[in-house]
Chain A
Amino acid sequence: MRAEVTTEATPEAAPARAVPAVKAIRRAFSSPIASLLVILLTVVWTIPTVGLLVTSLRPAADVATTGWWTFFAHPSLTLDNYQTVLFHSGFGSSGGLFPFLINSIAITVPGTIFPVTIAAMAAYALAWVKFRGSDTIFFIIFALQVVPLQMALIPLLQLFSGTGVQFNGTTVIPGLNIGGTYAPVWIAHTMFAMPLAIFLLHNFIAQLPGELMEAATVDGAGHFRILQSIVLPLSAPALASFAIFQFLWVWNDLLVALTFAGGTPQVAPLTVRLAQLSGSFGSHWEALTAGAFVSMLLPLIVFFSLQRYFVRGLLAGSVKG
């Protein structure tokens, strides 16, 4: 939770600067039993995912009749399940998962770009265009993390859909009628991301050297220029941390998507479709496992390649509304 420790937080951080005391404790603890425990836990943690991956690559007939662990005795691999689950109709779904995969990308990209941009602007204003009450505003925004997004769902849905906001039977605000498009999902994700995004980015942007801004102001640069040419480039690590956090959050989200996108192939992302399928065709494990792996592939790539930034974001503020 402390900013100072974040640089050491990456799992890759080797204990290179280990001093004798640390070494001694490490040695004292390092019994074969300890190592065995770690290996055991890691294996237990990994096996379910391995089972999913192996199953998704086995022929459907094998999956239905034998356990995935028998694969290692009788290996036979196929990509048919992926072909089927992505493009073919059947299993009660008309077009396969491909449209939902596209929706996931179409929801996640703006769902990440919008909040990062708006939060960076706000964080800059709160940190460097000080005015009376700016500290109070920052604290209120920060404290808004206590509101669970469940608190906002019903009224927001009324606002986005045709009903509008009603009070005692009279319409106070007419509905925006943007249901059935990506817009409600983008907007909702942007709204819900604000408290954490502004908090994380403000902490970073406020620590940038003030001389840079002063020099730029003396040179006649306006706030927009300073933001664009000084603040944003220097804040790249913080922006990356939050962007990865938000990307994974939006891609993996079910609640917001289910509420604001519905279940149609036009708008709904993979998570929504998979949740439906897991209820309706639980016996087609070859398809369900392949579908689940399709939904996991991109986040896993992002996670393993950018783990360092993800961990930094996580340590900087792990309370997400």
Chain B
Amino acid sequence: MTHLYADSLLTDSLTKFADVVAAVLIFFAVLLIIFFAAGRAAGRLARPATIVAFLGPAILLLLVGLVLPALRTIVLSVENDDSTSFIGAKNFQWAFTSDTIHQVLANTLLWIIVAPVLATLLGLAMAVLVDRLRNQSVYKSLIFMPMAISFVGASIIWKFVYDARDPSLPQIGLLTQIALWLGVKHPPNWILDFPLNNFLLVVIMIWVQTGFAMVVLSAAIKAIPTDILEAVRIDGAQAGQTFFYVTVPMIRNTLIVVLTTVMITTLKVFDIVRTMTGGNFGTQVLANEMYSQSFVQFNNGRGAALAVILFVAVLPLVGYNIVQLRRDRGIR
């Protein structure tokens, strides 16, 4: 029986890999055919044909996958939940007046303030402090490591840390055990305890994003011209003064970009809440509510309205980052 099962598992996997290989081969075959067809075009048609062959696939994907769906979502957001009639701004009215969504918006606000600020501050502290240690790459790699882990994996890691049992039983969750060691008689059941649970979920986001902030800020600090630091030193500045009056102002733009980038990620993240609580116990956030409305309750209108709200919230942040990047790169 087990033998048969192992057999079917193997065949099953081989079939899947064969599908993947076939798909990749077909993909490249189609590209080759396109190139070949474009190469046959002669004279005045040669250049446009080349452009279409090279740029066409990307443009098509962007139109079908991003531009048109985004426009369609805006239309859906002013229609009812099965998209059969126009209902104006009712979905948005619902989003801003219903009590459950008030909770969601309040939680989301907490997330996008606490997570970016703490992740950036911790990342900055690490970037400055680690520079002076031996084996700094070891510390940096370990702080940076959570970036490689999925939000689902990170959530499971922390769910285990937050595991709580009756205080009389042996504990398996580290946080409860630490609380008991510290003499807390009845530690709360962390994940159920509102509003503390919201902060405990935000901790996961900070845990993941601090490494990102550290790496980017560390690069910015290393790019500060050394003659400036030299001049400041000759003028007799203390290390603390140098940090606050030279380092921080010189990396100000990078600081803001890190802050906004973490904010954008935080605004859109739904995996953590979904894995940790499913949005229960007063922990729901905008991105997860959008998913639930659209794909669990099939309220397309409300889901689309929440997506539009998310888009409008992200817009100024990404807009700022893009302007920054353009200025730095000199993109016309």
- A67 B171 Cβ-Cβ under 8 A: yes
Cβ-neighbour of A11 out of B59, B133, B215 (below 8 A): B215
- B129 A34 Cβ-Cβ under 8 A: yes
Interface residues as binary, B289-313 with A (CB distance below 8 Å gives 1, 0 otherwise): 0110011000010011001101100
A275 to B273, CA, bound (A): 10
- B136 A122 Cβ-Cβ under 8 A: no
Interface residues as binary, B73-87 with A (CB distance below 8 Å gives 1, 0 otherwise): 100100000011000
- B220 A5 Cβ-Cβ under 8 A: yes
Q: Which residues of B contact A289 (CB under 8 A)?
A: 156, 160
A63 to B198, CA, bound (A): 27
Q: Which residues of B contact A192 (CB under 8 A)?
A: 65-66
- B58 A121 Cβ-Cβ under 8 A: yes
Q: Which residues of B contact A227 (CB under 8 A)?
A: 54
- A106 B142 Cβ-Cβ under 8 A: no
A282 to B152, CA, bound (A): 14
Cβ-neighbour of B143 out of A42, A64, A278 (below 8 A): A42
| Closest CB in chain B relative to A173 CB, distance in Å | 10
Interface residues as binary, A173-188 with B (CB distance below 8 Å gives 1, 0 otherwise): 0000000001100111
A21 to B237, CA, bound (A): 11
Cβ-neighbour of A45 out of B133, B143, B322 (below 8 A): B143
Q: Which residues of B contact A20 (CB under 8 A)?
A: 230, 233
- B160 A152 Cβ-Cβ under 8 A: no
- A38 B139 Cβ-Cβ under 8 A: yes
- B72 A1 Cβ-Cβ under 8 A: no
Q: Is B157 an interface residue (CB 8 A)?
A: yes
Kindly identify, within residues 41 to 85 of chain B, every residue whose CB is under 8 Å from any CB belonging to chain A: 47, 50-51, 53-55, 57-59, 61-62, 64-70, 72-73, 76, 83-84
Q: Is A61 an interface residue (CB 8 A)?
A: no
Q: Which residues of B contact A232 (CB under 8 A)?
A: none
Task: Known A66-B172, A194-B62; judge A102-B16 contact (CB<8 A).
Answer: yes
- A299 B35 Cβ-Cβ under 8 A: no
- B70 A37 Cβ-Cβ under 8 A: no
Task: Known A139-B331, A146-B319, A223-B54; judge A109-B69 contact (CB<8 A).
Answer: no
Majority secondary structure, B binding face:
helix
Task: Known A195-B62, A288-B156; judge A121-B16 contact (CB<8 A).
Answer: no
- B152 A274 Cβ-Cβ under 8 A: yes
Task: Known A66-B172, A67-B177, A151-B69; judge A12-B137 contact (CB<8 A).
Answer: yes
- B307 A148 Cβ-Cβ under 8 A: yes
- A302 B159 Cβ-Cβ under 8 A: no
| Closest CB in chain A relative to B86 CB, distance in Å | 9
Partner-contacting stretch, out of A72-80, A162-170, A211-219? A162-170
- A143 B66 Cβ-Cβ under 8 A: no
A138 to B71, CA, bound (A): 20
Q: Which residues of A contact B310 (CB under 8 A)?
A: 148, 150-151
Most chain A CB atoms below 10 A, which of B70, B290, B321, B332: B70
- B58 A194 Cβ-Cβ under 8 A: yes
| Closest CB in chain B relative to A136 CB, distance in Å | 9
Q: Which residues of A contact B314 (CB under 8 A)?
A: 146, 148
- B23 A21 Cβ-Cβ under 8 A: no
Q: Is B39 an interface residue (CB 8 A)?
A: yes
- A169 B84 Cβ-Cβ under 8 A: yes
- A307 B9 Cβ-Cβ under 8 A: no
A168 to B54, CA, bound (A): 36
Q: Which residues of B contact A271 (CB under 8 A)?
A: 150, 152-153, 271
Task: Known A25-B242, A29-B128, A42-B143; judge A155-B72 contact (CB<8 A).
Answer: yes
Q: Is B216 an interface residue (CB 8 A)?
A: yes
Partner-contacting stretch, out of B91-99, B100-108, B109-117, B253-261? B253-261
Q: Which residues of A contact B182 (CB under 8 A)?
A: none
- A165 B139 Cβ-Cβ under 8 A: no
| Closest CB in chain B relative to A155 CB, distance in Å | 4
- B137 A49 Cβ-Cβ under 8 A: no
Q: Is A234 an interface residue (CB 8 A)?
A: no
A131 to B50, CA, bound (A): 11
- A147 B70 Cβ-Cβ under 8 A: yes
| Closest CB in chain B relative to A62 CB, distance in Å | 10
A188 to B61, CA, bound (A): 9
Kindly identify, within residues 136 to 156 of chain B, every residue whose CB is under 8 Å from any CB belonging to chain A: 136-137, 139-153, 155-156
- 6 pairs, CB–CB < 8 Å, chain A vs chain B: A66-B170, A114-B27, A121-B58, A152-B69, A274-B156, A279-B275
Given contacts A145-B322, A154-B76, A190-B65, 10 further A-B contacts (CB under 8 A): A1-B324, A110-B24, A122-B58, A142-B322, A146-B315, A148-B268, A150-B307, A191-B64, A254-B274, A295-B153
- 8 nearest A-B residue pairs (beta carbon): A191-B65, A252-B150, A303-B148, A28-B239, A125-B54, A122-B58, A11-B140, A21-B230
